[in-house]
Structure 1
C-alpha cells in the first residue's frame, strides 16, 4: 500500500479511521432520532444491503433500492430491488413505509429536476425520513478527498481525478474520469431546505465546520 493510500485508509476506510468514527456517531444520532426503529419498516433509497448488514442498528424490516444488482441471498428482514429512486415503480411507490432513509445519494442523482423527483419519492413513501448529504461548502470534497475540488472547472477536476491517489475508485481513463466528476453535485443548505421544506435541517460538523446536512422528519 502506498503512503497516500495508507493515508486514505487512516482517515476514511479503516475501522478506527476518522470516517468510521463519524459514521458511528451518525448511526447513533439516527437511532436516537427514531427510538422505535427496531419496530419500523424502512426503505433505503440508494443504499446497499452490505451497509445494513454491517450497521449497528436493526429495523424490523429494510427495503433497499439501488441501481446495482443486490446480493443473491439476504436475511429475512432485508430486501433489495434494482430501481431508480427518482422514478420508482408503482409497486414500490404504493407501499407504505414507516421511514425513508438515504445516506449521501441525492448529490448523485443528476440535476435539480432529478433531485426534486427524489425528494418527491421521499415524501410519498413515508411520513418520516432521514436524508443526509455532504455539504457543498465544506473545504474538503468528501468523495475525492481534495481541498476545494468541487469549485474547480470540470476539466481540472477530470485531470486531478486521473492522478489523485486518494479517490475511492481511481481511473486513468479521461472519459470515465469526466463522467465520475460530473455525476457528483454537492448541495447547499438552501437547496436541502427547498427539497425538504417541512423537515428539521441538522448539521454534522467537523472541526466546527458543517460537514454534512441532514433533513429529518421524525414525527
Structure 2
C-alpha cells in the first residue's frame, strides 16, 4: 500500500478511521432519533445491503432501492430492488413504510429538478425520514478528499480526478473522469431546508466545522 493510499485508509476506509467513527456516530444519532427502529419497516433510497449488514442497528425490515444490482444472498429482513429513486415503480410507491432512510444520495441524483422529485418521493413514502448529505462548504470535498475540489472549474476537477491518488476508484480516462465529477453536486443548508421544509436539520461537525447536513422528521 502506498503512503497516500495508507493515508486514505486512515481517514476514510479503516475500521478506526475518522470516516468510520463519523459513521458510527451517525448510526448512534439515528437510533436515538428513532428508538422503535427495531419494529419499523424502512425503505432505503440509494443504500446498499453491505451498509446495513455492517450497521450497529437493525430495523424489522429494510427495503433497499438502488440502481446497482444487489447481492442474491440477502437475509430475510433485507429486500433489494433495482430502481431509480426519482422514478419509482408503482409496486414500490404503493408499499407501506414507517421510515425513509437515505445516506449521501441526494447530491448524486442530478440537478435541482431531480433533487426536488427525490425529496417529494421521500415525503410521499412515509411520515418519518432521515436524509443525510455532505455539506457543500466543508473545506475538503468528501468524495475526492481534495481541499476545495467542489469550487474548482469542471476541467480542473476532471484533471485532478485523473491524477489524485486519494480517490476511491481513480481513472485515467478523461471522459470517465468528467462523468464522475459531474455526478456530484453538493448541497448547502439552504437547499436542504428548501427540499425538506417540514424537517429538522442536524449538523455533523468535524473540528468545529459543519461536515454534513441531516434532514430528519419523526412524524
Q: What TM-score, normalized to structure 1?
A: 0.99
Aligned equivalents of 2:168, 2:18: Cα separation in 1: 16
| RMSD, aligned α-carbons | 0.4
Aligned equivalents of 1:17, 1:190: Cα separation in 2: 30
Equivalent position of 1:89 in the other structure: 89
| Aligned residue runs from structure 1 range 38-49, under 5 A | 38-49=38-49
Equivalent position of 1:175 in the other structure: 175
Query: What displacement does 1:178 show?
Result: 0.2
Equivalent position of 2:63 in the other structure: 63
| Aligned residue runs from structure 1 range 154-165, under 5 A | 154-165=154-165
Aligned equivalents of 1:31, 1:17: Cα separation in 2: 21
| Aligned residue runs from structure 1 range 192-207, under 5 A | 192-207=192-207
Q: Deviations over 1:165-195 (max 9, x none)?
A: 0011100000000000000000000100000
User: Does structure 1 residue 15 correspond to structure 2 residue 9?
Assistant: no
**Contiguous gaps of at least 5 residues in structure 2:** none
Q: After the TM superposition, which segments of 4 or more aligned residues of structure 1 sit over 6 Å from their partners?
A: none
Q: Deviations over 1:86-143 (max 9, x none)?
A: 0000111111200000000000000000001100110110000000000000000000
Q: What TM-score, normalized to structure 2?
A: 0.99
Equivalent position of 2:102 in the other structure: 102
Equivalent position of 1:127 in the other structure: 127
Equivalent position of 2:190 in the other structure: 190
